[in-house]
Amino acid sequence: MTNPKKKKKGGDPRWDHFAQKAQDRGYKARSVFKLMEIDQRFSLFHPGRRVLDLGCHPGSWLQYAAEKVGPAGQVVGIDRTETEAPRPNIITIQADLTQPLEHGALAKPFDVVLSDMAPDTTGIRHVDQDRSMMLAEIALDYAVRLGRIGSAFIVKIFQGPEFQKYMASIRQHYSGVRCVRPEATRKTSIEVYVVATGKKTDSHLTHVDQPMQ
């Protein structure tokens, strides 16, 4: 039985049953249940696959993806905040994704590219939407360049005026594109997740710099 004293960690009003479940199961954030639901619906992760997690901190998506791909797979996470790699099949890179990036772990194509990146919010809706769109465009660029033919791409985005234009851009590169709102998404949030499957063209590594020696 769950200890009622643990219901709100430190009195945090954002602490809910998803946060409690994440803590109880050893995950670093409640957002893991968004990825779990998406995976259950679209069957994205399989043993031996390579996964790229953009904006990976604090690491719950890394944890889940690493469990699903197993020891024969690999998960590479990138974030501007240093992030622990809790399993042998995880590599984390501390880097700013808005800047050019060179790293040997990016030299091979990926089967799944994830982005749960969110901007530093201002509370001004159109500003936050624009910042979210910028991050989503960066994520799409990585997915197109580093995803193999048939790969999948999952990206979080705040819906705004440019959303349909962004969806059209994704459809140029993927055969299946869906917009989903997982149950763990907070009711007050304007975020949605775009799930793209079946990457059409083999454009991976086209613009990637040579890996660091």
Please give the positions annotated as active site.
Answer: 156
Q: How far is it, in rounded angstroms, from Cα 9 to Cα 67? A: 26
Residues 6+ apart with CB under 8 A from 62: 53, 56, 75, 77, 83, 85, 86, 90, 92
In which residue are the tokens 């809790």 written? 86
How far, CA to CA in Å, does 56 sit from each of 82, 107, 117, 162, 164? 10, 19, 8, 25, 26
| Cα–Cα distance for residue pair 67/74, rounded to 1 Å | 10
Tell me the C-alpha distance between 204 and 61, whole Å.
23
**Angle between the 17-24 and 32-42 helix axes, to the nearest 10 degrees?**
90
**Residue that the structure tokens 């430190």 belong to:** 10
Q: In whole angstroms, give the CA distance from residue 70 to residue 42.
A: 18
